Structures are given as structure tokens and as C-alpha cells.
Amino acid sequence: MAAGTSPDSAPGEVHAEVAARLATVGQSYTANRSSLVELMVHSDQPLSIPEVLERHPELAQSSVYRNLAVLEEAGVVLRIVTGDEFARFELAEAFTGHHHHHLICSQCGSVEDVTLPPSVEAIVVRELEGQARRRGFEPRGHQVDLIGHCADCR
Amino acid sequence: MAAGTSPDSAPGEVHAEVAARLATVGQSYTANRSSLVELMVHSDQPLSIPEVLERHPELAQSSVYRNLAVLEEAGVVLRIVTGDEFARFELAEAFTGHHHHHLICSQCGSVEDVTLPPSVEAIVVRELEGQARRRGFEPRGHQVDLIGHCADCR
DNA sequence: ATTTATGCAAATCGTTTGCAAACCT
DNA sequence: AGGTTTGCAAACGATTTGCATAAAT
């Protein structure tokens, strides 16, 4: 419940909250998992596994995959599947404190975060969810992404 | 150029247009490729390769992959990569005549099409593209998808 | 001491590709 | 014939998993 209530919780708060969430899934907050969370807290864009390993070569690839899966299951991280070769991971919105969308580069696969004005966000959500419900589809979330070329790939 | 100019071209038109597009990429419109296009014209939702093979068991799996790749390159079909195990393919918007979005079922992976009112569409696009350009990102397209449970999986 | 996480190597599985036969034109 | 597409089987590569060791409590 405390998670995400403050738009930008103190650094320590995040770890405490992650530990709590993991507990609800019967998992503990190990050093490796903490490394991953710490990494994502300080990253301004979703990371692929190779990028994670680049920054933490001491971690075993399989453990990174496995721990990100655990963190995903606990609702701590979000897995982003683009057309790119690798999936990417970022802290769930409850932990970053702000709902956002993505600028996906179709050239290099990088992903940047952007936010939409609440008014715009509201209009889209209302419209989409209305349509969905009318067809018996139960909405759980949405993704609004822009595809294009990032500054580096123009 | 003619493609998509008519909101809903006659059935025959589509095949003629596809042939033309393939020609621009130096490819011919073979029977197998025609089967694929015909299938998508009559499908109300993006299809995965297993679904294609189910409906056309006489096709070789590798050829389906290969031909869908060719059609994608020619701008005839669009590849949709969800978190699901299989990628899905649908006719490009220039051929369906209408811009649309997706209702993605996170349970079974099925994808339905939905359209947004032009006014809503315009607001989102303007806002997103404005943000993107301000960051040196060159927009090429966008995807607005709703994630949830479809009527069958509720 | 028992349970859980880790790291290595091997397995999985959707997708891609090499190559020879079948098809055009 | 000359070039292209097809189908089979083998290769690829991101992700997952089995199993033995290392932590942790």
C-alpha cells in the first residue's frame, strides 16, 4: 500500500518496499536482487540483460534472468517486449511513482520514457476502456508507445 | 501510391495492390503469398504462424515465415510482437483502410482490433510526437494497446 | 540442518537459413 | 536455360531449466 503513494520516495524506501513485495510472494530480498533494483533505480531507461551484465559482470546471466522473473512476479519490475532481440526491464510504476510511456527506437532497440499530460491520458484511457468493456474485454493496463529513430540513429 | 487511398478497396483490388508493392521490392506475387494475403483479408484479428498453418496445412512452416517476412518488407503486412510466445501478423493499415489499435489478452495472447475516434487519436499523436521531437526522436508510427483478459479468458 | 539462491552447462523453442528439387517464363 | 520459390532439415539465439554447490537462517 505504501508503494507509489509518494511520487518519488526516498532511495531507501524503495528497497524496503521491494523487500515487502517480495515477501508477499514468499521470496527474500537477496544481494543480487538488490543489485538489480539499485541498477534500475538509477537508470533512466529500461535495460536489456546484456546491458545489466555489462554493468554487473559478476552476476551470472541465468541468475539475472531468474531474478528479474521473480521481481516481475512480485510486481517490482516490468518486462517490456519490443521487436528488438532482447526484452527490457524497468522498475514498475508503483516504484517510480509516475505513469509513463515509451519512445522505442526501431533501429537500435533503445527505449526512452515519456509522460503524457493527465488530461490526455484520461481521454485515451476512458475511450479505450469503454470500447474494451463493450466487447467483454476486461482491461488491466495499457501501453502507448511511439516507434521511430532515436537521436543517435537518425 | 494507390494503396489505402480508398478506405475499403474491393477484394480484387487488394491483391493487385499487393502484387504492385511486391514488385517494388523485386518480388513476385506467388500462390503461397496470395494464400497468406487472402487469409488475412478475411481474418478479423492478427494471426500467429500456428494459426496460419492450422488453416493452410499444405504450406511449409519455413515458407510461411519467409513469405511473411517478404510481405512485411514490402509493407503489406505488419508484424506484432506481444509478450506472447508467437509473433502475429496482420494486413498493413494501407490495405485494411483504417488505422486501429489492439486489445491484447495477456492470458491467451489473442489480439483484437479497435479504433479510436479521430479526435482522440489526433490529441495523443500530437502530444506524443511533440515530446518526441523535443528530444531529438524522429517518430515513424505508434502503437496504443490495451492489455487485459479477453471475453473467453475472464 | 534445512531451506533457498547461485552458477554452470545443457535443454527449449520460436524463428532463420542452407541447399537441392520444383517452378515459372 | 536462368532466375526464383519451395520444403526439408539443420542451425541460431534468447531464454529457461537441471543439478550440484554455496549461502543464509
Interface touch A83/B82, C-beta < 8 Å:
no
A31 CB closer than 7 A to any strand C atom: yes
pLDDT score at B6: 44
pLDDT tens sequence across A99-120: 999 999 998 999 999 999 999 9
Identify residue A141 by its one-letter amino acid code: G
- For chain A, the residues whose C-beta falls within 8 A of a C-beta of chain B are 79, 81-83, 101, 103, 105-106, 112, 114, 116-117, 120, 123-124, 127-129, 131-132, 135-151, 154
Identify residue B151 by its one-letter amino acid code: A
How far is residue A64's CA from residue A59's CA, in Å, rounded to a whole number?
7
Counting one residue from chain A and one from chain B, the pairs whose CB atoms sit within 8 A come to 123
DSSP A30: -
pLDDT score at B10: 64
pLDDT tens sequence across B116-147: 999 999 999 999 999 999 999 999 999 999 99
**CA max distance for chain A:** 51
Interface touch B148/A141, C-beta < 8 Å:
yes
**A140 contacts in chain B (CB < 8 Å):** 106, 147-149
SS3 sequence of B37-76: HHHHHCCCCCEEHHHHHHHCCCCCHHHHHHHHHHHHHCCC
Nearest-by-Cβ selection for A140 from B128, B143, B148: B148
Helical axes A61-73 vs A31-41, angle rounded to 10°: 80
Cell 539499485 found at: A38
